[in-house]
Structure 1
Amino acid sequence: MSKSTKIPDNIKLSELIQNRMQEISSLSQTINADPRFGKLAGQQVPRHMRRRAVAHDVMRLPRRLRGKYLREKDKEGGESVTKRPSRKHRRRPANLLKEYNRRQQKQYWLETHIWHAKRFHMYYKWGYKIPGFPNDKGWRACYRATKSSCLMFDLSYFNTIQIQGPKHVITNELSALTRPETGQVFNTAESHLEQTALVYLPKADDSSDALAAEVSYIWLPDEQNSGSTNARIWISSHPGFIKDLWKTLDVAFGLNLSQKFENEEKYSTESSTENEPPKKKQKTDEVPPSHEASQEKSEKPLNDKTNKEKTVKEPEKEKLAPRNIPHDRTPKYKGKEGVTITNLQGVINRFRLVGPKRFEIMKTTCVPATVKPKEDANPAVGKAGLQWWKKYFGDREKEKENEELNKVFGESKSVDSLTCLTVRDPRILLPIKKYVKPVENKDTKSSEKSKIAKSTYSVNKSESSALQRTKLSPLFFDSKIRDSVTLSKATNCVINKRRGNLGISGVTIPIDDLESRVPVLLSPQNHIDSLDILIPAGWAMPFWMCLVYNGCRVGGEKEFDHLQLEQSRPPLMYRFPDSLSGEIEAETRKEDLQKDYFDHPPLHRCSYPILGIASPFTAPWKILIKDWAAEDAFINKTKPEITSIQVMRDTRVISSLQQLTSNIKVISSADENCLVPVKLKIACRGRLGANSLICLPSRADLEEVMESGLWEGPVETNQQDDMEKQRKETIETHKAQKKRLKRKWKKLKDKQTLMKCQSTALGKELDTEKLNYLATGMATLKQMRNTENAAFAGKSEDLWIGEFNTVRNSCKREVMGYVIIGDMSYTEGCYVGHGFVTMKGARSWLQLLGSLDTDSCNSSASNQARNLVLTRETSSPQYRFSYLEFV
């Protein structure tokens, strides 16, 4: 024995015996145990045969252990997983189509979904699966396409509603839902253009009406010459506004749809069954229809000719199963005075083309078709449905109108009005490979092109008037014709066979009577320099592929929002914080930003209380308006009450604000406590992002800029974080509580182990009552620990942000508004943003500018300081100067 070893003075005999008893009992139990028993079924096979896959497939175990494994799994509360069909079974064409339709039960897919899903990140929004952003390039490549070629978006998720009935009833009810001062009302004068309107939802009480949606509308041509007794209008809306729009139409026309929208949800936000594999077919006593058919088939005599006939499969029609095709399946609602409202969701596809070559590519894809049948054509050949155009254009007047329209369309260089064309099947015209026309680099030619582009409207004015004089054909708006075009579409194999029979590849197939004619509607959006094409259901992919092969670049929702920012207007869902849909969208963005913030560890989080940022994830409009209204309330000794958000959209008030005059006349007190939309552009260095502060500059700030011209702006001093101490105390308390619960759980666990060991060593029966008591205690402690973790997670997030009841004076400069969206603009060459400021804050800023102009003797320096406000990002203490413009 070594000298360093020290023998203890005394030994705890009870503890020593207890430990040895546990060891002896475990050894004896292991030695005497039968190797076939006492183990789980998955452990009774050699180690080289043990697989984790057994948990999913019990067939990987020997047959003698499968029953025991399933019993053990059921006893533990696990669910038996049915076997997924083989890949060979799943890849059969019929099963692929069934899976394609099944996965659209919870969320609506676009017809171009498969094409987008291979190339884009897909988002689930507003009940649709829409493309988010491409995998290959960012916004820079899309911006180049808008400047030199063409950028395309699939906007088929925009919902279309048709209202039909007496024109005076439709006009009166729809006009009652709009406000004339906004300048966006339902107008019947310009029926050759697609226009926009702001729809308000009237309230039952005396409070101001709430905004429901911004919609675009088209007055359809009168096909039956019925005058004003049977007018039709198409209203297109963003899916984020569609629920509020239906409520508005319900109030206007008395459709009784309130129960539908309150109790029924067509598309659920839960996508739990989205990625589930098809369930295994269970054996039942009932005979399935396919088996009955096979039995009937087997009972027929073998020499029956019908037994040899193959059933013709129509995959194009099977893909239309989730859609409202034909027109009889579309939901229709009866309103007052004979008004009928039809939901055309999924019936119309809409593509938007942006860029200088949009019309050139459109003419390459939409080639007008001849509708005069050939004399030597055999009417018995082919489907009769493919020749719907023969019956429609059998009238000589319609055929002549189509020829004139094709001639004008072929000679024109742009489209300035709604144009309905009958075009060829785009699959016939599909190029062999993608082709993008190169941009010429010569300065002379580029300058000539820029001049032509700037004066397009003046040069093509005669052509535009010619198109406007051409009567808008009701061809595309006829539901029967759209159904015929959709249901009679030739399969891709037929088109590919025709292309393959050509002797020389790349030669255009001549038109014949068997080729489909497709009616399309071209809708120019002159205010945003884009062109929309409306296509019947079932024809989205042929036109989409032809447009892509002719040089169109494709963008997603992210690029679509950024494009609107480049066009000096905020995205659609950012413009209306006073609507219910806008509030829901803002809450969604808040949750995303908050989740991203708390995903970072505490050391990598920005301390917003120190920076003086009260609300970093969303703009608290009601609190901001209340803060600015409290000044007048203090003078008048009244308590301000802000129950709703109002946005100033009166064109007269906006025009007076744009002139930078502080003498603004408002109609009511509600307009006094409202928000004003603004556009911001960074003056020098800095960035503009979501929820950036728009602050009122002091007189000293503007004078400093006028003197130096290079001053970046003031810096916010660090504020006291009152919650830091409380956060640390909460963390320490949480850790102590977890240790205490763990210690108690360990005690109960040791007692349970000791009871089992003593029972085995001494051969006594277990005290099941006491054992169950210990198990209950352990489960209770575990539940308490989970509750403590959940409570700490929520409480810690609140301690990082904190509660607030004022935001105007949360930092050194008074907060007058917030930026809702901001990013780098390639057109402006700097960061731009859109947001809202309070009306009283705008007045204070205009008064400051007016006093500065009066006292300043240097007019150039005064002009330099005009339109300047202070902006600050939520993650920076540095204030930056930005130019503010009312829009």
Structure 2
Amino acid sequence: MDGSELKKGNLPKIVEKFEYDAAVGGNTRVENEITTFNHCHQRINEIKSLTSAIANPNSTKLVFQKLPKHMRRRAMSHHPNRLPRKYRLAHRAQMSKSGAPAQTKRPSRKYRRKPSNILAAYQRRQRANIWLETHIWHAKRFHMVSKWGYKLAESSCDKTFRSSYRATMKHCLIQDISYVGNIEIRGPLDVLRNKFERMRGRTPDLGLCAKAYVGGQREGTIELFSIDAYPYGALGRFQFIWKRENDNDALRTLWLFAHPSVYQKLVDELCELFELELQDDLENGVKKHMNNTINAELYEMRHQLNRFRLTGPLSHAVLTAAFKPKITSTSEEKTWFVDYLMEEKNRKIHQTQTKHWNDLKHIKSAIDLPPGMILGLNIEDPRINRPKKRTKALPLIDSPMDDGADVCCTIPEFNGDSVLWERNKCERIQNEKVSTHEICVQRNKNILVPGERCAFENKLQAVPVLLIQRPGSKDPKNLGYGNGYDVIVPPGYGISTWMCLIMWGAKPGALREMETVAREALEDEFLPDTTSSIVNSNLMANELRKKYFRSPPNKRQNYLKLSIASPFKCPWMQLIQEWCNTSSPTEPKYYVLRDKNKLNKINQFLLGKERNLTDIDENCLIPVSLAMNGRGNAKKFSIICLPKKQDIRNNEKNRNEFINRPVLSEPVAIDVNETQRKLLRLNHLKMLKRLRRRRVRVKRKQQEFVDRKVIIAPSHTTKQTKLQYDRMCELWLPSAPKAIRKQCTRDVFGYLTQCQFMFHEAKVSGVGYVTVNGIRELAKLGVNQKRKLNQVLVRDPNSSIYRFATLSIRYH
């Protein structure tokens, strides 16, 4: 607009600005100018409240909530020291108003690591489970489990499965088996012989009172049963040692070593057998049972000795390097060993044992010694005979011994003598033991040359030990595997001896290695009819079943579709009952066949050299070993099935064409409980929702009459939930299967109890048990087909594939 237009009076038209006002809901006119006085007058109340808030800050937020986000920590609400210093006082004031308890300062690590406090904590933790003397050492390096009332090492934290096997084959593996309990029985030899005849099997094996064992020079192994119950009621396999008889000893002493799962059962059977009564007085911390009529006594020495097991060809070399016989000296202080050598007989025993041990130093392995040989030694304190760093002990081959064959084949008369048989001496040895701290202090004072022996170490008391030779496996395929020594050490010297053997090259093992050694030797640690096996199988089945149901339904293996009736346990009783020809209302008992003559007859029957098995009881289980013919893997609880004619033809066809496909695959079965499970779960959820709605209605009614907040009542549905869980478990996996023999398309006549890849055979092998009637059916099938009689089908419980395996009778 130019000036001429202004002069004419043409003023510009003012355009009004309209904006949308959300509060009014339409257009409104906005002022071009605002008067300051009027605006402040209208906002005077807001200014006053803002000024008051700045002068008197009152906030609902806590102090630690006002910090910037990058400085906030979750632990600040409980630990004021997490906050900056200037906020700590205000934070404590806020926490005290809420009624929170004052935070007590945790004791310092220096206080917690005091010896007295550590000891008190250890004693508190041992109330639930008993600790071995090597527990602290194992707890730092192994996975620990609670078993049989003990806290035991299960497996190493490192990957040591193959290295442990190499140790058993070429080196030395050591295991702490001090959980094996000791029972001492005293009485006349005739009484002991007659009584134990009622508990042993009627087999041609050597008995408890055989001449080979009564002299106290060898350790024996025996199968014991309940009183007058053979062949049923098996207790287990036990090791035993006789104390050497003196000229004036009318009573004989016997040590029985029992597994903790059957220890109390064996004690009860022995008390009933000898008619013993528990005495009120306790002698040296052991339980005492007596029968004055027959002059018999029983002592429970469950935690009185340490026992270590050394396995492998270098076990002898490790013991030779670690155990040095104590040299007699007149300048020693007053110890038990000085008093022991005052008698001429004891000096002769010590000299004989020392000479025999020195003569055996140059042998290569323990397998060269007589089976079960016992050797007692009085050695130097193991703490003064360990190398500075871990060293691999090797056999001494530089100077071979003279007349080696005679030394290895003969056992001196006094070999088994030891003061470990006397409980008062063992208690004195434990009390007179010099602590490791005192040894270090004295060594620092008296040592002249670093690393050399000092005079103080020669004054330490001797330590009595018992060495027991183990011959190893008797199987021709792996003869001698697992040979080594068992070392019995007095109480108080367990960890000292353990560390000495470890430093000389022994590789530590645990319960897993115990099963591996037994499996590689084709032996079963627990036979199915023994008390130990029943206890352990029930515990394992409960653990595996709980683990199975902890997984969500879409992650569980549906065993109903796989036609597997019992994936976590071997139902021997039901298997025997379904295979017995006679139908009786009572459940038949079962037992494992141990008679080697009958086992040999069954083996000849499979080879076609024996026509019938009429004298074999139908209620017995036959121990067998299986080896997979080709590909395929089998695990524990795998089923052993009878093949059909078509299976044998398909297997031969695949072998001729070099095809590795399976001969048979189990068809997927129909899960008859699937609909019922879904309906049961739906009804259960409806019930829970209905109960919750009922509790909500009750809460709302109560809220109408009170001012405070009403909390909803607890559900109290634990009983219903537990019942629902049990019903669902039964629908997923019935605890009492309807059929075992006919659970799948092939007849089941046995189970595998141990199976894995065998290193010495380079194939998958295992041990198991089958029924007698199943062996007969297998033989009929082989005769009709004019083929081998030892080919069976094996199927893993988690797979639908059948594989052929070779069956052979196992002489355990």
Q: Which structure has the larger Rg over C-alpha atoms? A: 2
Mapped to 1, the partners of 2:567 and 2:288 lie a distance apart of 45
Q: Retained in 1: the 8 A contact 2:588–2:619?
A: no
Mapped to 1, the partners of 2:759 and 2:111 lie a distance apart of 51
Aligned pair 1:481/2:425, yes or no? yes
Corresponding residue of 2:440: 496
Mapped to 1, the partners of 2:76 and 2:598 lie a distance apart of 70
- Superposed displacement of residue 44, structure 1: 11
Mapped to 2, the partners of 1:837 and 1:430 lie a distance apart of 50
- Superposed displacement of residue 675, structure 1: 1.6
Mapped to 1, the partners of 2:693 and 2:123 lie a distance apart of 54
- Superposed displacement of residue 64, structure 1: 10
Superposed counterparts of 1:702-781, under 5 Å:
702-709=648-655, 710=658, 712-753=662-703, 755=704, 766=705, 779=713
Q: Retained in 1: the 8 A contact 2:184–2:253?
A: yes
Corresponding residue of 1:804: 737
Corresponding residue of 2:189: 167
- Superposed displacement of residue 806, structure 1: 1.2
Q: Retained in 2: the 8 A contact 1:693–1:871?
A: yes
Q: Retained in 2: the 8 A contact 1:424–1:517?
A: yes
Q: Retained in 1: the 8 A contact 2:150–2:179?
A: yes
Farther off after superposition, 341-350 or 655-664: 655-664
Corresponding residue of 1:304: none
Return the letter of the residue paired with 2:732.
W
- Superposed displacement of residue 788, structure 1: 4.1
- Superposed displacement of residue 498, structure 1: 4.6
Aligned pair 1:409/2:357, yes or no? yes
- Superposed displacement of residue 423, structure 1: 0.7
Q: Retained in 1: the 8 A contact 2:314–2:393?
A: no
Corresponding residue of 2:99: 69
Q: Retained in 2: the 8 A contact 1:366–1:424?
A: yes
What secondary structure sits across from 2:266 in the alignment? helix
Which of the residues 664, 674, 678 maps onto 2:613?
664
Mapped to 1, the partners of 2:63 and 2:589 lie a distance apart of 68
Farther off after superposition, 409-418 or 47-56: 47-56
- Superposed displacement of residue 348, structure 1: 1.0
- Superposed displacement of residue 507, structure 1: 3.1
CA 1:556–1:603: 2 relative to 1, 3 Å: same
CA 1:587–1:184: 2 relative to 1, 3 Å: farther
Q: Retained in 2: the 8 A contact 1:169–1:337?
A: yes
Return the letter of the residue paired with 1:235.
L
Superposed counterparts of 1:444-593, under 5 Å:
461-500=405-444, 501-509=446-454, 514-528=459-473, 529-570=483-524, 572=525, 574-575=526-527, 577-593=528-544
Mapped to 1, the partners of 2:378 and 2:395 lie a distance apart of 31
Corresponding residue of 2:223: 198
Q: CA offsets, 1:291-334, max 9 Å, x none?
A: xxxxxxxxxxxxxxxxxxxxxxxxxxxxxxxxx9x962222111
Q: Retained in 1: the 8 A contact 2:200–2:230?
A: no
Q: Retained in 2: the 8 A contact 1:653–1:664?
A: no
Mapped to 2, the partners of 1:823 and 1:685 lie a distance apart of 13
What secondary structure sits across from 2:257 in the alignment? strand
CA 1:518–1:550: 2 relative to 1, 3 Å: same
Mapped to 1, the partners of 2:256 and 2:394 lie a distance apart of 39
Corresponding residue of 2:301: 344
What secondary structure sits across from 2:801 in the alignment? coil
Q: Retained in 1: the 8 A contact 2:175–2:510?
A: yes
Q: Retained in 2: the 8 A contact 1:697–1:870?
A: yes
- Root-mean-square deviation (CA), in Å? 3.7
Return the letter of the residue paired with 1:789.
T
Q: CA offsets, 1:507-559, max 9 Å, x none?
A: 34568751221111100111341211111000111111111011000001011
Mapped to 2, the partners of 1:478 and 1:56 lie a distance apart of 58
Mapped to 1, the partners of 2:103 and 2:96 lie a distance apart of 14
TM-score, normalised with respect to structure 1: 0.74
Q: Retained in 2: the 8 A contact 1:678–1:836?
A: yes
Q: Write 1 or 2 for the structure with the bigger share of helix.
A: 1
CA 1:569–1:53: 2 relative to 1, 3 Å: farther
Return the letter of the residue paired with 2:219.
E
Mapped to 2, the partners of 1:885 and 1:43 lie a distance apart of 77
Return the letter of the residue paired with 2:505.
G
Mapped to 1, the partners of 2:412 and 2:647 lie a distance apart of 55
Mapped to 2, the partners of 1:719 and 1:431 lie a distance apart of 63
- Superposed displacement of residue 82, structure 1: 9.3
Which of the residues 353, 373, 385 maps onto 1:429?
385
Q: CA offsets, 1:716-767, max 9 Å, x none?
A: 11111111121222232233333333333344444444x1xxxxxxxxxx36
- Superposed displacement of residue 596, structure 1: 2.3
Q: Retained in 2: the 8 A contact 1:155–1:350?
A: yes
Corresponding residue of 1:825: 758
CA 1:362–1:531: 2 relative to 1, 3 Å: same
CA 1:398–1:828: 2 relative to 1, 3 Å: same
- Superposed displacement of residue 388, structure 1: 1.6
Aligned pair 1:881/2:791, yes or no? no
What secondary structure sits across from 2:197 in the alignment? helix
Aligned pair 1:253/2:267, yes or no? no
Return the letter of the residue paired with 1:664.
L
Q: Retained in 2: the 8 A contact 1:197–1:216?
A: yes
Corresponding residue of 2:175: 153
Superposed counterparts of 1:353-432, under 5 Å:
353-371=310-328, 373-374=329-330, 377=331, 382=333, 384=334, 387-412=335-360, 413=363, 414=366, 415-416=369-370, 417-432=373-388
Return the letter of the residue paired with 1:564.
A
CA 1:734–1:344: 2 relative to 1, 3 Å: same
- Superposed displacement of residue 481, structure 1: 2.5
Which of the residues 739, 752, 770 maps onto 1:837?
770
- Superposed displacement of residue 560, structure 1: 1.1
Q: Which has the higher contact order (CA 8 A, sep 6+)?
A: 1
CA 1:791–1:467: 2 relative to 1, 3 Å: same
Which of the residues 590, 594, 618 maps onto 1:649?
594
- Superposed displacement of residue 715, structure 1: 1.3
Corresponding residue of 2:253: 232
Aligned pair 1:695/2:629, yes or no? no
Return the letter of the residue paired with 2:730.
D
CA 1:740–1:105: 2 relative to 1, 3 Å: closer
Mapped to 1, the partners of 2:75 and 2:701 lie a distance apart of 33
Mapped to 1, the partners of 2:104 and 2:300 lie a distance apart of 40
Q: Retained in 2: the 8 A contact 1:713–1:880?
A: yes
Q: CA offsets, 1:389-423, max 9 Å, x none?
A: 22211233432342233222112224431101111
Mapped to 2, the partners of 1:395 and 1:747 lie a distance apart of 91
Aligned pair 1:684/2:630, yes or no? yes
Mapped to 2, the partners of 1:89 and 1:108 lie a distance apart of 26
Q: CA offsets, 1:451-484, max 9 Å, x none?
A: x9xxx9xx95411234345553243322233222
Aligned pair 1:612/2:560, yes or no? no
Q: Retained in 1: the 8 A contact 2:314–2:394?
A: no
- Superposed displacement of residue 181, structure 1: 2.0
What secondary structure sits across from 1:328 in the alignment? coil
Q: Retained in 2: the 8 A contact 1:221–1:474?
A: no
Q: Retained in 1: the 8 A contact 2:201–2:230?
A: no
Mapped to 1, the partners of 2:206 and 2:118 lie a distance apart of 46
Mapped to 2, the partners of 1:505 and 1:495 lie a distance apart of 15
CA 1:207–1:496: 2 relative to 1, 3 Å: closer
Return the letter of the residue paired with 1:737.
M
Q: Retained in 2: the 8 A contact 1:185–1:198?
A: no
Mapped to 2, the partners of 1:56 and 1:231 lie a distance apart of 68
Mapped to 2, the partners of 1:207 and 1:431 lie a distance apart of 52
Aligned residues: 714
What secondary structure sits across from 1:226 in the alignment? coil
Return the letter of the residue paired with 1:180.
R
Mapped to 2, the partners of 1:56 and 1:806 lie a distance apart of 62
- Superposed displacement of residue 83, structure 1: 8.2
Structure 1, unmatched stretches of 5+, are 8-34, 74-79, 261-323, 756-765, 857-861
Farther off after superposition, 97-106 or 832-841: 97-106
